[in-house]
Structure 1
């Protein structure tokens, strides 16, 4: 249901925006009439209220005349609300309709930032998941060769980290293909990294790997739930740095 600015014929001041139900209440309270005009954004013109289907339906939903609608209206509250609404010049109203006010410009800026954050999210996650896959698979390259030679894929069960690495490769592909439905799985995977793998490195006394995997996992998790551009950029830097450190140290170690 839309909202409309209204004004009396011959006036240069508009009030609103009101939804159709509110306009119907104003008509019943004598604060507006069928001759009152509303601004039609599509036609860019002021038209009588009854030419708007939504308003006409709100005023007369049962196809009865206005005088037959048995509804009591609290004129005191209507008067009080109207007094609180500042009058708006026509040029100000048109600026609002065209999205040229400070508020609409602020909303558009936030929307653009959210779009940029969303555009960054999937490529960043793809890189982080690929680095995580390298970390999991690299120590098990020998096991992969043995499984291929014997043709016994049940041996995968003896290498749970390799299974995690294969899952990370699958999640990398999901990010490349923009499958955002995989986000809950990625969050679970990153919480696994933040909890289990951080604990493993801590128990080994490897502080550097512990901090790196914790930072990379948390940044990846956070990037799936935020649309703030600055937060997303921070997640990209921290996540790739953290998981990249783990991958490099795994390959070189």
Structure 2
């Protein structure tokens, strides 16, 4: 407040207020005639308005419409599951075209496709019924390949069948069906390898030949077959 002297006496009047940032002081600022008052409401511009009749009923869910929506979602899910199963089956069949699989290997392929247990069982049963999966036939195929092409003994063959997921009883039956024993096959294999060891001394040749036989699963027959083959070679 500033005191002014007026007509020989003092009077008290407020000095004009100077805005800090150069704008027009609040009392002197003209108010626009077109400026609408600001509506203050925590709920937006519809707050405080009376709700028109029937509006709440429109927002309330219709039981029939809800049931239809649930059925529609279930139908979409069923289609998704069917598509997933079809894709998994095609993937399995592509693998079966390249080589035979055991049931355990086929299950692993289907589980990688994110199928549930029931869907996996259904596809496995279907493939077995159609002859695409047969553990007994696979075991027989692996046994003959191990004997004819690799010259393996029973121990190595059993390991191969176990690694491929062939059940133990099926593997034992396939190995028991071999026409000869390990001794004959071990000696035959040793004879085929002994010729390449002519330039080695006997101890070195015996050690290498017996090691090759052992790695092919001949076990206790390895050393005796190696000795006999080297003796025949002279």
The answer, yes or no, to whether TM exceeds 0.5 is: no
- Taking structure 1 as the reference length, the TM-score comes to 0.23
Q: Which has the larger radius of gyration?
A: 2
- Taking structure 2 as the reference length, the TM-score comes to 0.24
